[in-house]
Amino acid sequence: MKILIIGSGGREHAIGLKLLKSRHPVSLFFAPGNPGAEQIGQIVPIAETDFDGLIAFAKSEEIDMTLVGPEGPLVDGIVDTFQSQGLTIIGPSRLAAQIEGSKQWAKWLMKKYQVPTASYEVFKDYSTALAYLNSLSEYPTVIKADGLAAGKGVTVAQDFNQAHDAIKECFLDQRFGDAGASVVIESFLKGEEASIFAFCDGKTILPMVPAQDHKAIYDGDKGPNTGGMGAYSPAPIASDSVQKKVMERVFLPMLHAFQSEGIIYQGILYAGVMIDSLGDPYVVEFNCRFGDPETQVVLPRLETDLVDIFLAISTQTLDSISLEWNSDSVVAVVLASGGYPLDFQKGFPIIGINPASHPANVSIVHAGTTLAAGQVVTNGGRVLSVVARAPKLEDAIADAYSSVDLIEYTGMYFRCDIAHKALR
């Protein structure tokens, strides 16, 4: 089976690593991919935004199935475009992908179908948003750019000044371009956040095991948000009872919402949920794809054949699939460029990433890397994920950080406390 994976990050590399374990013989193609993906498949030098080029390749190579990793192409309608050409592709349509592409649309849908989430207001200009902030008597509050902002468009403002800076970035500085043309201001949800993905074929929705991401740049969850500095699974905060509530209060109502709105949602639905002191979940955000770096810790625990799952999604027969999971702990530590998530430099040679140099239970997942004169060099804010799997969480943490110590590049930065909250 020929499978095309669209994207160039760690999530796409991790999906490819899992697909190689399928009972189906697979040939993997990555567009545009990265040096890690090149170790397990063929690199296709076509940008993820070049829909015509991707379709031409899929037809000429007789690709059996295309998988879309990042949110951008999904929000821009790549699924609709592929399907109009009779090509099999896994992911939600342009309309369905609004669940991530427009935070105000997602909030409207949740409110209409009574999915628990924070109260909110939407603003389309600076002066109106500023007047609203002046009326607030309680902080923190949450400021969100409405559109896609690579995980950096959310500010948890502890006071008026931080909130003002956030709306100024969107409306006056235009840091996020069109994505910040509208702003959602939400009430602050108290609790602990977890990530729960689900496979969905439009008729059936099957949740995956929970994970917990570390979004803040510094240890102790301090500093600005990033795309994610590490993750682990299982996440003790998402107990069996919490997972049951997420299914009953979030995933099933969202499936009903899509169906009632005439939307066939096929692909991955990602719920970021805040779990309060009573164990009740509230949706912080939805995404229309696998999360990164959570994918790196969820998929290694999946025992069911991932190819079979994707085939069932494409044929709307997901009700025939039973998801099975192993009980191991998986930890991913993200290695970032110095200065990320703000300004950072690229092009530094990376040493110590040969898979043979690391234990069999550790994977080096490439994210922001590229080749220069035959050498793997840094090419993004988040460069690598070091992923370790072990029966005990303590061992997975220790193994991940032992492998981190073998890797070097100029400016390398990582958090030292990934998964420690699970130990507590």
Query: What DSSP character marks residue 392?
Result: S
**57 closest CA partner among 87, 33, 77:** 87
How far apart CA 309 and CA 22 sit, in angstroms, is 11
CA distances, 53 to each of 31, 74, 80, 172 (Å): 10, 16, 15, 36
Query: What kind and span of H or E run contains 162?
Result: helix 160-171
Percent of the chain whose predicted confidence (pLDDT) is above 90 = 96
275: in domain: yes
Judged by DSSP in three states, 313 sits in helix
Q: Of the residues 295, 320, 345, which one is the last residue of a structural domain?
A: 320
Q: Are residues 48 and 155 in the same domain?
A: no
Look up residue 312 and give its two tokens.
């069932």
The count of domains in the chain is 4
Q: Are residues 84 and 163 in the same domain?
A: no
Q: To the nearest whole number, what is the mean pLDDT of the chain?
A: 96
Spatial CB neighbours of 59, under 8 Å, sequence gap ≥ 6: 85, 87
Question: Do the domain assignments include residue 314?
Answer: yes
CB neighbour burial string for 115-126, b if at least 16 within 10 angstroms, e if fewer: bbbbebebbeee
- Residue 53 predicted with pLDDT over 80: yes
In a domain, 141, yes or no: yes
E strand spans, 78-119: 89-90
Mean pLDDT, residues 414-423? 95
Nearest to 362 by CA among 384, 386, 382: 386
pLDDT-derived band at 149 (thresholds 50, 70, 90) equals confident
Do 307 and 338 share a domain, yes or no? no
Residue 292: which domain range? 192-320
Are residue 209 and residue 306 in the same domain, yes or no?
A: yes
Q: Which of 291, 320, 349 is the last residue of a domain?
A: 320
**69 and 32, same domain (yes or no):** yes
**Is residue 228 in some structural domain?**
yes
Note whether 182 and 201 are same-domain residues: no
Whether residue 151 sits in one domain with residue 86: no
Residue 99 counted as domain residue: no
175 shares its domain with 200: no
Same domain, 37 and 131: no
- What is the per-residue pLDDT across 360-401, written as a single tens digit (0 to 9) for each? 999 999 999 999 999 999 999 999 999 999 999 999 999 999
Tell me the pLDDT band of 139, cut-offs 50, 70 and 90.
Answer: very high
Q: What does the pLDDT look like over 158-181, one tens digit per residue?
A: 999 999 999 999 999 999 999 899
The rounded percent of the chain whose pLDDT value lies above 70 is: 100
- Residue 115 CA to residue 128 CA, distance in Å, equals 27
- Are the beta carbons of 33 and 376 closer than 8 angstroms? no
Give the residue among 281, 278, 200, 204 at the shortest CA–CA distance from 243: 281
Nearest-angstrom CA–CA distance, 195 and 189: 15
CATH number of 77's domain: 3.40.50.20
- Tell me the C-alpha distance between 281 and 253, whole Å: 13
Residue finishing a domain among 282, 299, 320: 320
Looking at the fold, whether 132 and 45 belong to one and the same domain comes out as no
Q: What is the CATH number of the domain that holds 347?
A: 3.90.600.10
This prediction has a pTM of 0.95
291-331 tens-digit pLDDT: 999 999 999 999 999 999 999 999 999 999 999 999 999 99
In a domain, 42, yes or no: yes
Do 181 and 218 sit in the same domain of this protein? no
Within a domain: 109? no
Residue range 108-119: average pLDDT? 97
Can you tell me the mean pLDDT for 59-80?
98
Residues 137, 65 share a domain: no
d(CA 284, CA 168): 22
Residue 420 in tokens: 């420690």
Q: Go through 279-311 and write b for each residue having 16 or more CB atoms within 10 A of its CB, e for each that does not.
A: eebbbbbbbbbbbbbbbbbbbbbbeebbbebbb
Q: Mean of the pLDDT values across residues 228-253?
A: 97
Q: Which residues pair with 385 in a beta bridge?
A: 334, 365
Do the domain assignments include residue 146?
A: yes
